[in-house]
Chain A
């Protein structure tokens, strides 16, 4: 009888234990996850997440000379970065590449050509942006961490000399693929950049190729032929030429997706203002776009006054003296834009190519004037509706400008200052323009005014001191640096988890961001 009891207990135990495990696989399947998702929804997330980084207000907004800080003029915010200051930008590029590779792998050039090509364009647009930010980066050994992909957890860094051309080659393939005929598939609703318009992606692809041909024009032998092939083959390689064709990321304006500049001003209206060198340049040129680009300061509602960089104070008192960005550039509906490629860039580059003596459809003067006209048209299109009538700009203003201080004089000065002005808010491009050409030269020449020295004398601000990298940073670095950062610092993640390789890549880098210029940055006298 005892045995019977034991047997019955054991039997029930075994039945319980073994009979019920067969559902475990099903139970452990996440009902909130997917085994496969539509490609356009992946494209959607990649675009919004990378836009958060590209549209970010920190760093290049100052290094490009557009903006200045009013509060938290902390040494480390912009001139004394730490490893991780810009780590999210890097992280998002590699993350997006994983997502986009998945899209590329699940598409092909026959039935899903448009999505396939668009994903490759997006991929390389981000990789090139990352190269501009950080320089050498893991490429040939990247995205191979999974055991089935090779299990490479420590990836070596590839030289920019190798990665830039590789990216251009990938874009070239897409350009030729589309040149042979557009696909029939839809990129879908998840394409916030171009609304699913494959033609627009084709233009963006070729425009990027042109952009990097010019960026590498001083260092890469393939630049000239690439630029010429694009500029002179508009039917095979169409580029962005009309304002409406430009690549703008328009923000949703709600939820997690406020336009980032506006979002910053919305919650912290006293942290940033427009830079003094930008405002003063526009004033000195009588450039009508000043009225769109910049708001009069709150103090009197009339004066346009920019803020100075790096003053030896934590905060500037009486911040109402300084001008904010124009209304269109931080729209009250939170749904403004982040520019990725403005149509005027095409013509500024064409003008530059012409000045180099390359074969171009327009002369340097024609291309320059077209560039300024397109820039005006673009800004008028974007900004006029946001400002009161007296600040609106017309095409007559543009012609008057081109006839006066904006007139073509054949100089680099004219070309690059104008390009800088036109690139407003496209901060990464403007920072790269500065690093490649040295324009705006103010970054090397601007000094504190008597007025600011007077106001901030209690904090040790001295008239005649260089604005860049600023009194605070100057004191900190003891004069070791005279320029804005050459690059963004490699992220902490790499120093923690890919130490040997990032340290090898960091040879020559001084104080995180100086010491080693990018491949195509051939300026001298900067430190």
Chain B
């Protein structure tokens, strides 16, 4: 090898020395502010001879005497061709033209966007961070067409689920692969609990990246991800971190922000009736009609509510519903905080709101960037602290990022990027239905008259023996929410390190060989403590450690060579991957001494758990791109994977073509209307592998022993010895059109994908010896369209600029097949809670919500002559006027019909302003909050209905409430006619008679004003006077500004983005007493020294 190198060096030297050269010097400056442009490429036209400008923008180049012109280029600026004269001054203009955009593609290869035969969308740092988004996922939200981001609730550090081009898998985890600087990193969600009813959300792995460290994010949606083979099935998000490239010399910057977070979108609750039963005007009137003689005061005391112990000792005092006596009506009732005395029965409209506090989020980052001829370096240190809107919840993140690139000589260079993050929380709130989610006793089951101030003042009261009195408005089902958040805490500590280093060897100017090693490691420690909870009266704790480490080693050879009109770029690579996972839990379900969380304090057996996973894979891959005259580009790629989890190797090919029509037919550009037109298309096969250990039959131990005896069992899943990876075949076509000097730029993509061989744990009849079988089966077809429209409505370097960007996507899915060998399998369940499941049903779109629904008029009723065709879908009521139910109905679908993000950025001189709207149409949600708030009479809708005051009068379903649905009753002849049977609100909304569970499903449509910013760049003149400050800007920022519109069926105005108790597919379409999101306002400061 050494000899080869020597030979190579010698031959090059000979070539260089033999040529006649002359020396050209020059300087490159920016047209905008005449500042030097460092790092600009200067190449002798038609050759590969070139250099880059130094820190001061100057360059020196030995050019062949024959050379006539130089091509000067720099990222983000218009490329210029200038005469090859010594001492020239090159002025580069900023490039607004998206046509020459360079994007990062698979394997970190930088390509001209126009050369790509598939959709790729890149988001740059300024676009990500203009409004100071707190996390990578929130920064990306709405900014890429076809990418849907669900953030699960407004609690501190909440996790998110990302889906690219709809949903096409039946597995619970179908998030895209995340690649940072060429190295895959883990985006596991850290969540405890059962993914069904309860748990604590400790956040997504992606949020270990400080969004301020990101230079750009590229989303590979379909075939463009093919180079990632069996990890590409759900798309790939490529993150490139900032380097020192953009700095001039050495710069130190400070970026800081502070925002104030106020709870927003608390579900709409009523304030007119308090805790208790049969207290409204309807019931009182019924009582009087029945011959009752008590006055309202006496009636209310005797029948509706009188507090004794909050545990059914009094009248309805154990009841956590609000069907009681009217508030602010002059009644006097004994209440939880009135010491046994009658006290005014009055409303506290802000009682829920006052539980929340103003959260404060602050970010500080110091970064140092340096650039020299041989190296660029960036180091950043960051600190972020957030206190939640829920009292006593918080999160801190400490980060360090280091990025360096160094050119050693003509042949060797290397880079290194490293990232360390420590995330800490003292407490994150419990979620779901466990009694220690405080939201349940605020918005799902509650007395609306509660005075939160009393709760706050007395939650820590102790009796003479020093025991907590557990002061609360109700002791049968609830504990004080303050006690909850202060005493039942969930702490978190996470260390994350990831990074890579590459050694590059350039033996020839067209050949580069890269050896790359990347690693990703985290260690998370979750500590859940319960001092007292009704389900854990003796207290409990669980300490859970999760460690994950992944090593990737790549050897990549890349070629870039021009032959006449052809340009060839190609890579050939091999990857070795080793991934290991460790889970350990220890805890106790009951404690001897309350409040001491150590294993010696356990009652009975400890709760223990241990799980390991080890996956290894090898891959070879190659990509080949041939460009012809900057107008036609052909791309082909191939990858072969060998994985330890699957016995056979797998092959993934892709091919795509891009044609710049306007280059081939320049005549089209005449008239200055069409400036750019590209057609593209491609087809690819990609996949999704599986987790470890799924192809053998095993025995396992149960988590806990019984009387000290380990409990063991044979797996109840029949394994699949010949498991294959999921197979995704997709094709897409697209076009890009630039109009009016590319001021209007349209990018449209249409795709279809077919996902087959899904790895399904197919539920079987449970009498066959096992409960499920692991099979490769199923087929889901998706098709969709993505539109990106960028309009520079006003473009004026010295004046007013307005850029408007619209991202629109629509995906349609269809379950074509499940497992034909089991013909009874028509429906595959993905997520489940409260009797409702998210499912894939043959013939339907992905994500049907199924469960007990309304008994509705069907074709059969029409055929039988009992109903008319226009009544199909009407809800049948029984003789009492209550809706009747039917089991296993499709009551919605979680997939949105369309998603859209609309950004507007304005600038005028030093001022810039931007606003981003986010729109979603459809995407149904079954809401536990709504279901329970209906049942418990908390929802404002249980008072207002559609005709107002529905508790004061007899009401009719379909007229006074749920008027968007038709309700029918059966007449004497058996025919279905419009319902006019009178009933009352309490019986209708309470489950007892009227099961309206289905009507707690709402359309998740919304329009949100997601981001706002106003930035003032301090003028140069001012900066020149401030000696040490080069640049400074200050911004006012706002996030999650307003929920502008929701569908009518969302009667409680629940934020459709909040979620259930699983952060993956299982949580989609469910809302469960989630923490409302917060609206944040604040400031952002940037100083560059």
Interface residues, chain A, with chain B CB atoms under 8 Å away:
1, 4-5, 8-10, 12-14, 16-17, 20-21, 23-25, 27-38, 40-42, 44-46, 48, 70-71, 74-75, 82-83, 90-91, 94-95, 98-99, 101-102, 137-138, 142-146, 149, 152-155, 189-190, 192, 252-257, 266-270, 314-320, 457-458, 472, 475, 478, 491-494, 496-500
Contacts and interface: CB of A to CB of B under 8 A. Distances in A.
B765 interface: yes
A145 B768 contact: yes
A4 B604 contact: no
A270 B699 CA distance: 40
Contacts of B765: 138, 145, 153-155, 493-494, 497-498
* 6 closest residue pairs by CB, A with B: A254-B604, A145-B768, A33-B698, A45-B711, A498-B765, A30-B693
Contact of A146 (B314, B770, B822): B770
Most buried by B among A29, A40, A254: A254
A17 B701 CA distance: 36
A278 B540 CA distance: 37
Interface string B755-785: 0000000011111111101000000000000
Given A1-B7, A27-B644, A257-B706, A34 B699 contact: yes
A267 B534 contact: yes
Given A498-B765, A499-B824, A146 B718 contact: yes
Interface in B671-713: 692-693, 695-696, 698-704, 706-713
Most buried by A among B604, B643, B701, B880: B604
Contacts of A74: 991-992
A29 B696 contact: yes
A25 B693 CA distance: 10
B30 interface: no
B507 A144 contact: no
Contacts of A9: 513, 555, 557, 572
A153 B991 contact: no
Contacts of B990: 314
B607 interface: yes
29 contacts: A5-B4, A5-B511, A13-B574, A16-B620, A17-B642, A27-B616, A28-B615, A34-B698, A34-B699, A34-B700, A44-B711, A70-B312, A94-B766, A94-B767, A95-B716, A142-B767, A143-B769, A145-B765, A146-B769, A146-B770, A152-B768, A189-B707, A255-B704, A256-B703, A256-B704, A317-B315, A496-B763, A497-B765, A498-B767
A143 B714 CA distance: 14
Contacts of A75: 992
Given A41-B712, A153-B768, A17 B618 contact: yes
B555 A37 contact: no
Contacts of A457: 290
B476 interface: yes
Most buried by A among B574, B607, B714, B990: B714
Given A9-B555, A21-B642, A255-B604, A318 B314 contact: yes
Given A1-B7, A189-B707, A254-B603, 20 more contacts: A12-B574, A17-B642, A24-B643, A37-B701, A45-B711, A45-B712, A45-B713, A75-B992, A90-B766, A101-B769, A138-B767, A143-B768, A154-B765, A256-B703, A267-B537, A315-B312, A315-B316, A315-B319, A318-B312, A318-B313
B714 A42 contact: yes
A348 to B, nearest CB: 31
Given A33-B698, A252-B706, A1 B4 contact: yes
Contacts of B95: none
B745 to A, nearest CB: 39
A83 to B, nearest CB: 7
Contacts of B1045: none
Contact of B710 (A10, A44, A192): A44
Contacts of A494: 765-767
Given A9-B555, A153-B764, A267-B537, A16 B992 contact: no
Contacts of B991: 74
B699 A37 contact: yes
Contacts of B822: 153, 497
Nearest to A149: B769
Nearest to A195: B707
B645 A28 contact: yes
Nearest to A8: B1
Most buried by B among A31, A102, A472: A31
B714 A102 contact: yes
Contacts of B476: 269-270
Nearest to B435: A267
B981 to A, nearest CB: 14
A185 B703 CA distance: 28
B576 to A, nearest CB: 6
B590 interface: yes
B282 to A, nearest CB: 12
Nearest to B311: A270
Interface in B287-306: 287, 290, 303
Given A13-B620, A28-B693, A314-B990, A493 B763 contact: yes
A98 B640 CA distance: 40
Contact of B766 (A4, A91, A269): A91
B712 A253 contact: no
B589 interface: yes
Interface of B: 1, 4, 7-8, 277-278, 283, 287, 290, 303, 311-316, 318-319, 476, 507, 511, 513, 534-535, 537, 555, 557, 572-574, 576, 589-590, 602-605, 607, 610-612, 614-616, 618-620, 640, 642-645, 692-693, 695-696, 698-704, 706-716, 718, 763-771, 773, 821-822, 824-825, 827, 852, 879-880, 887-888, 990-992
A227 B244 CA distance: 91
A41 B318 contact: no
A32 B700 contact: yes
A189 B768 CA distance: 29
Most buried by A among B699, B715, B716, B879: B699
A107 B973 CA distance: 67
A33 B699 contact: yes
Contact of A497 (B620, B698, B710, B824): B824
A99 B714 CA distance: 6
B604 A253 contact: yes
Given A29-B693, A320-B312, A190 B555 contact: no
Contacts of B821: 153
A82 B507 CA distance: 74
Contact of B616 (A1, A23, A38, A90): A23
Contacts of B708: 189
Contacts of A91: 766, 771
Contacts of A478: 879
Contacts of A257: 604, 704, 706
Contacts of A190: 709, 711
B532 to A, nearest CB: 12
B824 A498 contact: yes
Nearest to A82: B887
A4 B4 contact: yes
B696 A30 contact: yes
B618 to A, nearest CB: 5
A500 B765 CA distance: 12
A267 B769 contact: no
Contact of A496 (B4, B612, B824): B824
Contacts of A29: 693, 696
Contacts of A16: 555, 574, 576, 618, 620
A513 to B, nearest CB: 14
A270 B312 CA distance: 8
Contacts of B4: 1, 4-5
Nearest to B11: A1
Nearest to A1: B4
Contacts of A146: 718, 768-770
Contact of A1 (B8, B318, B702): B8
Most buried by A among B640, B771, B821: B771
